[in-house]
Chain A
């Protein structure tokens, strides 16, 4: 069964610090990868996605992620966070040709002003 792993569930950092969240998936075939953000009390919003092509993907709000096939990873990065980036971040994977998304446990990120 496919699984998605996210580490460091709770991350606390100051404004302007850099953020990197790790995501690893366990699936050998073609896979679509996603990062979603869930602000407090809100629904999941798509930050970025990778289907194919350039492994460095740029998303909204200054986020980017790099797909490294050899490491089965899709890490999320932001060079300089803001207080408004306080949220929970979910990595998700979907094998090509499959419907369902498999989510990681999420990273709770708190940015201190």
Chain B
């Protein structure tokens, strides 16, 4: 079965650079979630989108922005990168249809290293 696809899988950037992470949800899933997992930490919710509209916002820095496109894929844009942004960024998708009880399926993550 198709799973959530994230690209790139690994990304190395320098401080103050920008990065774009992409997430392709499972086909027919309409909701995308972004989580950040720092080294040895639990995943922290950043932001989510339902039908291309932001549906919830967590602890996402102002330097980050995200959007969901008409094909339901999502991109997380990160600017003025800091060393502390080094983390594993997970995307998850669900088939919500307005019902938020649906299970979230996680992608493999993008490991971002800021040097």
Residues of A whose CB lies within 8 Å of any CB of B are 32, 36, 42-46, 49, 51, 90, 94, 96-106
Residues of B whose CB lies within 8 Å of any CB of A are 31, 33, 35, 41-45, 48, 50, 55-56, 58, 90, 96, 100-101, 103-109
B106 interface neighbour in A32, A44, A51, A97, Cβ under 8 Å = A44
On chain B, the residues within 8 Å of A94 by CB distance are 100
A10 to chain B, nearest CB (A): 11
**Residue among B43, B56, B107 with the highest chain A CB neighbour number at 10 A:** B43
B101 interface neighbour in A36, A51, A100, Cβ under 8 Å = A51
Query: Are the CB atoms of A44 and B45 closer together than 8 Å?
Result: no
Give bound CA distance, A23 to B44, whole Å: 17
Give bound CA distance, A96 to B101, whole Å: 7
Query: Are the CB atoms of B42 and A99 closer together than 8 Å?
Result: no
Query: Are the CB atoms of B33 and A105 closer together than 8 Å?
Result: no
Query: Are the CB atoms of B48 and A104 closer together than 8 Å?
Result: no
On chain B, the residues within 8 Å of A44 by CB distance are 43, 90, 106
